[in-house]
């Protein structure tokens, strides 16, 4: 053997002394790792300057870690601290469950450079709920376990801080073969179920017979060109396909009153592989206009938005180039005539840009252009004036997430959706301003 298993596991000192330990207690838990593992009763074993406060569950790198209980995430370490990536859960009885040394490597390496994207499952953030069996991350050797065998250091704590030996609880734990599907969070819509290709979103007043806004979604790459219309409570109102059913590049959506009739139309842009094709539809899915926003040979996909510079002016259509095309934003009328164009990010950025526009900041009567990175830019949601000067900043989702975003804005309201990566499409309201 190259080495004997010697697992040096971090102690996290949260006060002036190590919590009191108890030797045995059985908690009703789901086993925290899916797949074959081995572990022993190493609770209390001597370490260099302390005794072991949990059990080390040995497995393989990137083995799936799941929530042992239903409860709340009360801590998710980021950036990586000295003891490695970690998630702490709290159940409804106040017991706490610590997961330490979560993976920090890129797949196929031991480089320690994987970041949060390779440590945690999507949706792992302090304060969010979890259900037993929900995926929370992947096994690794981060922190002061770097270079050792991949394992999960698992601890159980009572509400008073007393450390419980988890061995008997692990022996009695329920084992499952695949992770549990997490329910939608409060205020969250899952327009395409567990589809993980992402979703674009827009909001507007497209159904004149009902009050309030509607939410429009477009399936991301791999899901077909499927557009759905919901009310703000998540009820499906309509759906259609703006491009041929066989197209799998995804579709971006926007809304705006482009013809001045007082009713918003649905504007779509073809995703990667489909050309920079903009189409305009009424609420029933009837096409009323179309044009190409960039050279027809461009295949990086486009993002679309709409903006009314005054209440009596028909909405202009805004487009931005997808990944690979540079951060090029253009403004058109509904016939496809260019009104203006600019670069909101440095010209060398190639991650693509997502855009929308509305009077989000109701302190004035001027619309803002909302910009977000399509890939690679982090949760960096920026607001610009029509003169392209930055006027605000918002952040949503985990700070480590690099899978990209889409945005949708209306009067005093801003929604954000996750894009791509290994996470399901998640739509959240991050700004709502009251008059």
Query: Of 315, 322, 266, 333, which Cα lies nearest the Cα of 294?
Result: 322
CATH of span 21-172: 2.70.70.10
Max mean pLDDT among 17-26, 54-63, 418-427 falls in: 54-63
The highest-level CATH class for domain 199-432 is mainly beta
The pLDDT confidence band at residue 16, using thresholds 50, 70 and 90, is: very low
Task: Report the DSSP beta bridge partners of residue 55.
Answer: 154
pLDDT digits (tens, 9 = 90+) for 123-151: 798 998 999 999 999 999 999 999 899 99
**The pLDDT value given to residue 365:** 79
Tell me how far CA of residue 187 lies from CA of 183, 380, 410, 430, in angstroms.
12, 21, 17, 10
Residue 171, classed as helix, strand or coil, is: helix
Average of per-residue pLDDT values in the chain = 85
What is the sign, positive or negative, of the torsion defined by CA atoms of 200, 202, 207, 213? positive
pLDDT digits (tens, 9 = 90+) for 306-352: 887 666 678 889 999 988 888 888 889 999 998 888 887 778 888 88
User: Which residues of the chain does CATH 2.70.70.10 include?
Assistant: 21-172
**Is the full-model pTM beyond 0.75?**
no
Q: Where is pLDDT greater, at 176 or 220?
A: 176
Distance of alpha carbon 435 from alpha carbon 433, whole angstroms: 7
Residues 297, 298, 300, 302, Cα dihedral to 10°? -120
User: Which residues of the chain does CATH 2.120.10.30 include?
Assistant: 199-432
């Amino acid at each position: 053997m190259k080495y004997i298993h010697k697992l040096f596991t971090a102690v996290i000192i949260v006060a002036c002394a190590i919590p009191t330990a108890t030797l045995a207690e059985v908690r009703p838990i789901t086993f925290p790792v899916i797949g074959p593992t081995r572990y022993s009763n190493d609770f209390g074993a001597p370490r260099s300057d302390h005794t072991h406060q949990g059990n080390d569950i040995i497995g393989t790198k990137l083995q799936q870690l799941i929530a042992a209980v239903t409860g709340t995430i009360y801590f998710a370490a980021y950036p990586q601290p000295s003891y490695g990536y970690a998630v702490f859960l709290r159940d409804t009885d106040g017991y706490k469950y610590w997961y330490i040394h979560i993976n920090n490597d890129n797949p196929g390496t031991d480089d320690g450079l994987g970041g949060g994207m390779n440590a945690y499952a999507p949706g792992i953030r302090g304060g969010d709920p979890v259900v037993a069996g929900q995926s929370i991350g992947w096994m690794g050797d981060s922190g002061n376990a770097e270079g050792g065998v991949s394992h999960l250091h698992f601890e159980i704590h009572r509400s008073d801080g007393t450390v419980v030996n988890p061995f008997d609880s692990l022996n009695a734990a329920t084992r499952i073969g695949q992770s549990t599907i997490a329910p939608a969070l409060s205020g969250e819509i899952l327009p395409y179920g567990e589809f993980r290709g992402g979703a674009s979103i827009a909001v507007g007043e497209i159904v004149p017979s009902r009050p309030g806004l509607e939410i429009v979604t477009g399936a991301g790459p791999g899901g077909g060109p499927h557009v759905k219309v919901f009310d703000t409570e998540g009820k499906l109102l309509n759906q259609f396909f703006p491009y041929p059913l066989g197209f799998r590049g995804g579709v971006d959506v926007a809304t705006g009153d482009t013809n001045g009739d007082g009713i918003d139309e649905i504007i779509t842009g073809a995703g990667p592989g489909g050309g920079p094709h903009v189409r305009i539809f009424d609420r029933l899915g009837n096409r009323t206009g179309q044009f190409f926003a960039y050279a027809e040979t461009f295949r990086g996909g486009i993002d679309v938005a709409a903006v009314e510079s005054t209440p009596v002016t028909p909405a202009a259509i805004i487009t931005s180039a997808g990944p690979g095309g540079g951060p090029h934003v253009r403004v058109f009328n509904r016939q496809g005539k260019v009104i203006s164009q600019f670069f909101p990010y440095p010209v060398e950025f190639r991650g693509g840009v997502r855009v929308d526009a509305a009077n989000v900041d109701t302190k004035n009567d001027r619309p803002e252009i909302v910009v977000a990175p399509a890939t690679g830019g982090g949760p960096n949601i920026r607001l610009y004036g029509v003169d392209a000067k930055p006027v605000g900043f918002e952040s949503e989702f985990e700070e480590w997430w690099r899978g990209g975003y889409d945005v949708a804005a209306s009067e005093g309201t801003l929604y954000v959706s996750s894009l791509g990566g290994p996470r399901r499409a998640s739509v959240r309201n991050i700004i709502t301003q009251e008059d």
